[in-house]
Structure 1
Amino acid sequence: MRALPRLALAALTAAATVAVVSATADAAADPAPITVLTSDFEDGTVQGWAGRSAETLAPSTAVAHGGTNSLLVSGRTATWQGPSLDVFGTFEKGTAYTISVWVRMASGSDNARLSVERHTAGVASYDQVVGNTAVTSGAWVNLTGRYTLAADVDLLRVYVETASTTESFHIDDVTAAYVPALPVQTDIPSVKDVVTEFPVGAAITGAETVTEHGRLLTKHFDSVTPGNALKWDATEPTENTFTYTQADPLMAFAKANGLAVRGHTLVWHNQTPSWVFTGADGQPMTATAENKTLLLGRLENHIRNVAAHYGTDIGVWDVVNEVIDESQPDGMRRSTWYNVTGLDYIRTAFRVAREVAPHAKLYINDYNTNVPAKRDFLFTLIQQLKAEGVPIDGVGHQMHININWPSLVDTESMLTKFMPLNIDQQITEMDVSIYTSNSETFPTPPADRLLKQAYVYRDMFALFRRYSSEITSVTLWGLADDNTWLDTFPVTRKDAPLLFDTRLQAKQAYWGVADPTKIETSASPSPSVSASVSPSTSTSTGTGSCAVTYRVTGSWPGGFQGDVKVANTGGVALGSWKLAWQFTGGQQVSQLWGGAVTQSGAAVTVTNATWNGSLPAGGSTSLGFLGSWTGSNPVPAAFTLNGTTCTVL
């Protein structure tokens, strides 16, 4: 898998059973969470917390997040040492818990992590709930993440550790809570029954195989991809010691429910243990003949073991993943694989995979294949390797995209580019972020973003179905918004990139795939600018009449979120619009989506965005914003659209 397009960042996928969450998508409001544990240390005890080794835990009044006490962890001699709490009798299998802990260094700085240790039949596994988060001695930092226990265990503990140093740190105000699950909707069409041109799949962790998640998965999807469980760090963490504790339960679930499996991935530059790239001399490998022989030997041994372990249970393998870097003169990623072996690691991987799994379709998988330079390099590489007899059966297009990018034209060009190679094509890791830049963040996904997302899913799936003779499957990178890697990448914020929300209810995006006629009516054009949905426009700057609906959708001390819907109730279409109002309570807009905002004192002016400037007669559009307030937060009394006073609904 890979990042959002056009973001030059690299990161690993989320841990096997976790996803960071803070808000729902577009379902009804959640009920109040049920809290199952609280540790505030105000009674002057450690409240059941213990060290993971010989470190010291003690109540402290030096600093506190709330009240006067916190828990100090000192005497650490390793980064993994830290405070740990037994939750074996507290957490239930299949329930998604939101765990929150406040952390502060006693001195200096480090990155803190929140994790869970679990044992099954004495075998230990570790799930990361919140990854590296910068923590200093100057302020408290909150680690909040979502965890679902997906396996039977005989030990379960929550713990905090650091990444680099063994300095002392404090924790405080620890909570764990859950929202009662909603049943899966059974009265809506199954995606797999609507999209019949090719199988539709989802990437899964153990959390997607239990309770309502498992029911949602089997209702809507034909196939699954183990998101992390088949990667090198999960299957061969130390040399020639193979373990399938993460993947085997997923495979058993798939087999029991008649789901096909895509194997992901045999070779990648990420999530590969450091020993793989360590030479016989104990040093990092360089480009020598000895290192090349050793590295290719390790690669062959790995594939022969992992692919053979699952035999015919896996019908498609992503053999190599993300080998193209269009910034290089030859287009090849300068990974250790390439630096030591050149193209031979790709040749070896496909050759061995064919020998071990002759039944399987073998894929080369990459992201941003809609970018012309990248797809051209990938095309040339596949063309060369196939001419050499390398058994490449297909190309995988990850399709990690957002509501504004890429265009349908670029996506179609991506598909047509590879047609002359006479290989299969699959969409392997699709999700549609509601964000268009790293600087954006929303407390809840705005309605206009979710609507645009529905249009993207509608148009992309329509395109894929037109090319069903080329595309042999489409896989979404996740099941629902409660467990998506985009919550922590490229920055930590709640994203909503999938078809179902955090409570597993169908979103507008689902209807974009299942039945586009049921997408909410809006005059906003499709973000892909399909000719069929582009509204009529004119150069008129006036309006016959207008109506505005203003509502506060969320409020907290000192801040709030607002939503404004503006309707053109006149008889003349607008080619652009400007909405204005006065804040009489001193409120200030800090961030706005769906337009561009300026504020001078009490006067707020919003002009249209590029995608929603056309407002036809009888049409409407929505915008949302974050604001601050003190004392009171009165609703504006009047609004004007292009200078004309509107009716306030």
Structure 2
Amino acid sequence: MRALARLAVTTLVVAAPLAAATLSTTANAADDPTPITVVTSDFEDGTVQGWVGRSAETLAHSTTVAHGGIGSLEVTGRTAAWQGPSLDVLDVFEKGTAYTISAWVRMASGSDDVRLSVERRTGGAAAYDQVVGNTAVNSGGWVNLTGRYTLATDVEFLRMYVETSSTTGSFYIDDVTVSYVPALPIQTDIPRVKDVVTEFPVGAAITGAEIVTEHGQLLSRHFNSVTPGNALKWDATEPNENTFTYAQADPLIAYAKANGMAIRGHTLVWHNQTPSWVFTGADGQPMTATAEDKELLLGRLENHIRNVAGHYGDDIGVWDVVNEVIDENQPDGLRRSSWYEVAGLDYIRTAFRVAREVVPDAKLFINDYNTNVPAKRDKLYNLVAQLQAEGVPIDGVGHQMHINVNWPSVAETEAMIQKFVPLGLEQQVTEMDVSIYTSNGESFPAPPADRLLKQAYVYRDMFALFRRYASEITSVTLWGLADDNTWLDTFPVTRKDAPLLFDTRLQAKSAYWGVVDPSKINPSQSPSVSPSVSVSPSVSVSPSVSVSASPSGSAGTAGCAVTYRVTGNWPGGFQGDVKIVNTGNAAIAGWSLTWQYTGGQRIAQLWNGALTQDGTAVTVTNASWNGTLAPGGSASFGFLGSWTGSNPAPAAFTLNGTTCAVP
């Protein structure tokens, strides 16, 4: 993966930003007690109540607008997007406690994407944890940002703050609260997962929040393998050239070693979460496919692997050396990432060669998602077979298995495993979770009982399959410990998901019993499972641009609505989501959506459609399964991209040849 993600923070639990009320995040948990509130800022006393600016901006009590009562906090005089109101919570937050932070925000004029974050410092080094990602806010009403945050390390400085994504406009905040629900003790009268599933190690992807207090107890009790979800990625370990830091990863590795747990290293090479400097040439310009740029890029790659893998040596027994290099929509099946565009297949060959030299006893894996889709599975097989024939030292294939309660079938998953058997390599399930959602249009205030039951049967059947293939499957890792910290809360859209074995209060769900003892799943309910379609993982939420269209070329009255959202933004990269709705009374049989970028954006990966990009011009056509849009029907696709300078939304869209005007 992904992560989600996925961005690189080690202490964060993200929840959905809401337009009105906070979603319930409990999934089959014991009854929650009343939350204990530790911070309240209602600005009703005529003061700023301890809030200060992060720079020279001005904070003042205001009665111009208010969410509740008559007062709010007005923030003006901002000269940078990162400037905003902050509150010292060093003496409030306790390590290991999961806090819910809620703030109401309203722009003074115009609109922007607003986010809620925490800054922490240890030894003078600052780190920034995103609690709620980019959320569209305007001057027309109040928007609630609500997220969960767990401090996992000792700090000397801790402040929560509100900032915007791009503009420096003034805004208001009001009715800020921080609360927590006292933790439940973990259940010690139920079987350990690792004691029941003995055919292979069972692991969890972790952040710093998973190794403290009850989370750490749950992790060490049930799992015997861990994957640092983000802490070993390039942006976390080498943010600046030849400046290496292991502040995020070292505590996770130390915890695993102290508890006798195997460690999967994730990941040495990925097209995402890689700093932009990696792909910047000696002339300061983006690299191109020249001999000079290729030599520089491969040199940086070798230096990175020698340092990061060498830092941990034998402590990490398995590495995802390269991650998500397959694009089944390309004739040769290879993702047109910056790695590939500059270095071709040599970046993969180099990564495995150097990793073998640095950690000769580690198992080296190639990892990807949707490997149960035949087209992708076959392209991955062909690549691995080619590299094997060349003598590239690959030991195994990783199947991410980000799936949902309706997809894939057991038969499709078994075909995935069987496909790679002739290669004689190990296979591992590296990032498994089972979403309760079957489409981007669904959102539940609490996980429905029937979805949780379906989920339990999926876990039951998948683990039964993996155990049946224990001679091929040598490890299974879940992408998270419990439902309180899952990247699926913000991907592919923002909503509370419940994809893991334990709920938000760390109590065992039916999914847990599906793995440990299926006889304890309620036998009176028999969910039907039908095929659906899954998408790839990764990160956060929000701005949207809606446009309307009247495409021609079909009988009846045609019309459409298109929503373009940037669902995650980070230095040099972003994630987006596009939804097409047929608002006419005639069916659309096959669609093609085009737009122009003006900020130097390049799409690196797209799912649920086929991509063509020529310079600034982007064209996305339907996949085989979502090309027909009945009246009122919709199709969505998502993507990961890069940007330089700025990341403005497209100004116009064209659907099947007809221009769509932005209202």
- Structure 1 or 2, whichever has the larger Rg, is 1
Partner of 2:501: 499
Deviation string, structure 1 residues 362-389 (Cα, Å, up to 9, x no partner): 0000000000000000000000011111
Partner of 1:109: 111
Partner of 2:621: none
Distance 1:160 1:45, change over 3 A: same
Q: CA deviation at 1:428?
A: 0.2
Q: CA deviation at 1:526?
A: 5.5
Deviation string, structure 1 residues 372-423 (Cα, Å, up to 9, x no partner): 0000000000000111111010000000000000001110000000000000
AA in 2 matched with 1:115 = S
Pick one of 496, 513, 516 that aligns with 2:515.
513
Q: What SS does the corresponding residue of 2:431 show, helix, strand or coil?
A: strand
8 Å contact 1:59–1:69 — kept in the other structure?
yes
Pick one of 263, 273, 276 that aligns with 1:274.
276
Alignment of 1:145-164 (within 5 A): 145-164=147-166
8 Å contact 1:14–1:485 — kept in the other structure?
no
Write the distance in 1 (CA, Å) between the matches of 2:79 and 2:126: 21
Write the distance in 2 (CA, Å) between the matches of 1:526 and 1:14: 37
Q: CA deviation at 1:525?
A: 4.1
8 Å contact 2:8–2:236 — kept in the other structure?
no
Partner of 1:27: 29
Q: Unpaired runs of 5+ in structure 2?
A: 16-23, 532-663
Partner of 1:180: 182
8 Å contact 1:383–1:421 — kept in the other structure?
yes
AA in 1 matched with 2:46 = G
Q: CA deviation at 1:136?
A: 1.5
Pick one of 233, 236, 258 that aligns with 2:235.
233
Partner of 2:368: 366
Partner of 2:20: none
Partner of 1:576: none
AA in 1 matched with 2:476 = V
Partner of 2:170: 168
TM-score by length of 1: 0.79
8 Å contact 1:456–1:528 — kept in the other structure?
no
Q: CA deviation at 1:12?
A: 3.0
Q: CA deviation at 1:528?
A: 7.0
Alignment of 1:348-367 (within 5 A): 348-367=350-369
Alignment of 1:217-616 (within 5 A): 217-525=219-527, 527=529
Deviation string, structure 1 residues 265-303 (Cα, Å, up to 9, x no partner): 000011011111111111111221111111111111111
Partner of 2:11: 17
AA in 2 matched with 1:19 = V
AA in 2 matched with 1:340 = V
8 Å contact 2:427–2:472 — kept in the other structure?
yes
Write the distance in 2 (CA, Å) between the matches of 1:228 and 1:14: 5
Q: What SS does the corresponding residue of 1:499 show, helix, strand or coil?
A: coil
Deviation string, structure 1 residues 437-480 (Cα, Å, up to 9, x no partner): 11111111011100000000000000000000000000000000
Alignment of 1:65-76 (within 5 A): 65-76=67-78
Distance 1:502 1:239, change over 3 A: same
Please report the RMSD computed on the Cα atoms of aligned residues, expressed in angstroms: 1.3
Partner of 2:96: 94
Q: What SS does the corresponding residue of 1:418 show, helix, strand or coil?
A: helix
Q: Unpaired runs of 5+ in structure 1?
A: 4-9, 530-649
AA in 2 matched with 1:146 = R
Write the distance in 2 (CA, Å) between the matches of 1:260 and 1:235: 20
Write the distance in 2 (CA, Å) between the matches of 1:16 and 1:2: 14
8 Å contact 1:50–1:84 — kept in the other structure?
yes
AA in 1 matched with 2:418 = T
Write the distance in 1 (CA, Å) between the matches of 2:136 and 2:286: 28
Q: CA deviation at 1:2?
A: 4.3
Write the distance in 1 (CA, Å) between the matches of 2:208 and 2:528: 35
AA in 1 matched with 2:313 = G
Write the distance in 1 (CA, Å) between the matches of 2:324 and 2:141: 39
Write the distance in 1 (CA, Å) between the matches of 2:530 and 2:311: 43
Alignment of 1:111-126 (within 5 A): 111-126=113-128
Structure with the greater relative contact order (CA < 8 A, sep ≥ 6): 1 or 2? 2
8 Å contact 1:455–1:527 — kept in the other structure?
no
Write the distance in 1 (CA, Å) between the matches of 2:84 and 2:493: 25
Residue identity over aligned pairs, in percent, reads 81
AA in 1 matched with 2:490 = T
Q: What SS does the corresponding residue of 2:39 show, helix, strand or coil?
A: strand
AA in 2 matched with 1:398 = Q
TM-score by length of 2: 0.78
8 Å contact 2:381–2:419 — kept in the other structure?
yes
Distance 1:206 1:227, change over 3 A: same
Q: What SS does the corresponding residue of 1:35 show, helix, strand or coil?
A: strand
8 Å contact 1:14–1:484 — kept in the other structure?
no
